C-alpha cells in the first residue's frame, strides 16, 4: 500500500491522473459531488484543501481530503473533510494505513490531534474510528440557510 499526495499545501494538484482514479471511490462517500469532479476538487484545493490516495496495484483503495489551519481552540488544527475506503477493500488495513499517514502529516505540521466529522448514520465508520483511537470531543451543529 502506497500513499500518494494528489494535492499539497501549495494549493496545486500534483497528480491529475490519480485524481481521476480517486473519483469512483470518493463518490462512495460523497455521491453528491459535482459532475465535473476535477474542477470541484481544484476549487477545494485552491481554498486550502489537500488530497491523498492510498493505492494498491495501481488502484485507489482509499481517499482523504484534509486541511490544516490555525484556530483559537486547537492552535494548529488538522481537519479531515473526507476519509473513505473503497467498499470492496474495507477491513483490509487500508483505512488504518491512511490514518497512520494522516497522523504523520498532522504531527509534521505541529498539530496535536486530528479532527473529523462523521454522519450520525455511519455506524460502521464510527466503530472503525473508535478502534483507531478517536473520541467524540464535541457536537457539530448545523443550521440550514435555505
Whether the pLDDT of residue 12 is over 90: the answer is: yes
Please state, as a whole number, how many other Cβ atoms lie within 10 Å of the Cβ of residue 107.
13
- Would you list the DSSP string of the chain? -EEEEEE-TTS-BS-HHHHHHHHHHHHHH-TTS-SSHHHHHHHHHHTT-EEEEEEETTEEEEEEEEEEEEETTTEEEEEEEEEEE-GGGTTTTHHHHHHHHHHHHHHHTT-S--EE---TT-HHHHHHHHHTT-------------
Tell me the mean pLDDT in the region 96-111.
96
pTM of the model: 0.93
More confident residue, 109 or 73: 109
| Cα 92 from Cα 80, distance rounded (Å) | 21
For all residues of the chain together, what is the average pLDDT?
94
| Cα 33 from Cα 41, distance rounded (Å) | 9
Tell me the mean pLDDT in the region 1-21.
96
Instruction: Give the pLDDT score at 16.
Output: 97
Amino acid at each position: 500500500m502506497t500513499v500518494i499526495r494528489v494535492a499539497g499545501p501549495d494549493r496545486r494538484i500534483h497528480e491529475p491522473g490519480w485524481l481521476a482514479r480517486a473519483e469512483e471511490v470518493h463518490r462512495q462517500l460523497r455521491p453528491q459531488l459535482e459532475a465535473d469532479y476535477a474542477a470541484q476538487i481544484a476549487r477545494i484545493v485552491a481554498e486550502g484543501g489537500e488530497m491523498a490516495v492510498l493505492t494498491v496495484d495501481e488502484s485507489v483503495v482509499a481517499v482523504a481530503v484534509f486541511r490544516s489551519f490555525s484556530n483559537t481552540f486547537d492552535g494548529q488544527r488538522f481537519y479531515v473533510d473526507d476519509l473513505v475506503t473503497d467498499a470492496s477493500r474495507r477491513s483490509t488495513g487500508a483505512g488504518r494505513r491512511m490514518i497512520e499517514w494522516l497522523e504523520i502529516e498532522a504531527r509534521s505540521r505541529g498539530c496535536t490531534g486530528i479532527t473529523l466529522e462523521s454522519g450520525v448514520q455511519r455506524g460502521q465508520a464510527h466503530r472503525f474510528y473508535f478502534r483507531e483511537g478517536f473520541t467524540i470531543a464535541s457536537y457539530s451543529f448545523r443550521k440550514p440557510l435555505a
